[in-house]
Amino acid sequence: MSKTLQAIRGMNDILPEQTPTWRYLENTLATLLDGYGYKEIRLPVLEFTELFARGIGEGTDVVDKEMYTFLDRNAESLTLRPEGTAGCVRAVLEHGLTGGGQVQKLWYAGPMYRYEKPQKGRYRQFHQVGVEVFNLPGPDIDAELIVLTARLWQKLGLAGSVTLQLNSLGSSEARAVYRDALVAYLQERFEQLDEDSQRRLTTNPLRILDSKNAQTQALLVGAPTLHDYLDEESRVHFEGLKARLDALGIGYEINPKLVRGLDYYGRTVFEWVTDKLGSQGTVCAGGRYDGLISQFGGKPTPGVGFAMGVERLVLLLETLELVPAALHSPADLYLCAFGEPAELAALTLAERLRDAMPGLRLVVNAGAGSFKSQFKKADKSGARFALILGEDELATRVVGCKPLRDDSEQQTIAWDALAQHLATCLAQA
């Protein structure tokens, strides 16, 4: 017996019953981003491996352990994108979109790939909607990104279920001084650190700050904090951001241990988290990466952005029962035809109705069938009315219009009056 074919672990099919929620979320986001003047960019799923190794950073979990990397037929090392920022920066540089200090406010959506341990809210193929802004160095744009996401939560009914965590990582120079101080402190307590943190002490010491290990967290209580090392410019920037969030009435929690898992960040970092999804509670995360473009060989160009996890937001909407019922509304009409001449007439009649009634949801019966079987299908479709076209109706150019959701009488309507009649019927609740 051949083995049943299955999807790859951590890579999910999104089934028809779920896609309306995805579209609702994607459409809400697209409309919102339009409203703030952001433009969509579409980027490849595959890039040269070097882009991520250089951009996200060797020593990060994403680059060291989680990338889907392979050699193509030309022996080039390629990687399925684990995130969108590096590719977006590559694209704006390649097309000169940030030249001469041009401001770019961009967004993208699509699948990302990370070889992580799959669990609820964490997958190997997942989807992000991301935003990246270039050439705006001030805290005003950081605040705009945050208020825009806050508006999304409002629109989706999630405002009470997510909280904002905020931190500043300072300049790269300040961070380097801090890193040395942290390493010196932890080196003295090396034996008490968990295994992962011992490894990170040489590869990526700042990541130890958000270790999940309780003993390591206890050790960190007395450790030097990043804020004591913040440079003056970063401090002013952070104060500017907080003042704007205060003015907007957006609550936040300063989390000095929020460092993020990707190397390119400096100054502002933030995460929107929920306690409704278990351990994978970060639904949106981002920050400033003013050094990344020059690291890729471009002129120094400020950059800031975020990405949200679509699966996690869909899960959250479902968990909190916030998916609008109307999203799953069925067809309006189901057109039954009996006998080949009526079937042919039904086809053209259906197209005439679609012309006359934009947005109409009309299912034409396919596969013929008896009265009984077609009515059964009409009923199952959830349509409000069945239209009936048999030999007699064809001869007199009428259709039977049978309400399926209440006991009112079937009516006989001339083809020419049908669109008008249906528009009136469908407008009634």
Which residues contact ligand HAM by CB under 6 A?
83-85, 114, 116, 122-123, 126, 128, 130, 132, 261-262, 282-287, 305-309, 311-312
Distance CA 363, CA 342 (A): 16
Asked if 227 and 209 count as a contact pair (C-beta separation under 8 A), the reply is no
In the complex with ligand HAM, the residue whose CB is nearer, 105 or 384, is 105
Distance CA 38, CA 101 (A): 17
Stated as kind and residue range, the H or E segment containing 386 is strand 385-389
| Residue 334 assigned as binding residue | no
Place of tokens 């295994």: 195
| Residue 84 assigned as binding residue | yes
| Min dist. Cβ of residue 232 to ligand HAM (A) | 24
Distance CA 151, CA 157 (A): 10
Asked if 385 and 425 count as a contact pair (C-beta separation under 8 A), the reply is yes
In the complex with ligand HAM, the residue whose CB is nearer, 165 or 411, is 165
Nearest residue to 167 (alpha-carbon basis) of 258, 234, 236? 258
Residue facing ligand HAM at closest CB distance: 309
In the complex with ligand HAM, the residue whose CB is nearer, 130 or 205, is 130
| Min dist. Cβ of residue 274 to ligand HAM (A) | 10
| Residue 165 assigned as binding residue | no
Distance CA 221, CA 226 (A): 13
Asked if 130 and 84 count as a contact pair (C-beta separation under 8 A), the reply is yes
In the complex with ligand HAM, the residue whose CB is nearer, 234 or 282, is 282
Distance CA 381, CA 193 (A): 60
In the complex with ligand HAM, the residue whose CB is nearer, 83 or 343, is 83
Q: What angle do CA 5, 311, 157 make, to 5 degrees?
A: 150
| Residue 132 assigned as binding residue | yes
| Min dist. Cβ of residue 310 to ligand HAM (A) | 8
| Residue 83 assigned as binding residue | yes
| Min dist. Cβ of residue 52 to ligand HAM (A) | 11
| Residue 312 assigned as binding residue | no
| Min dist. Cβ of residue 140 to ligand HAM (A) | 17
Annotated binding site for L-histidine: 83-85, 114, 128, 132, 260, 264-265
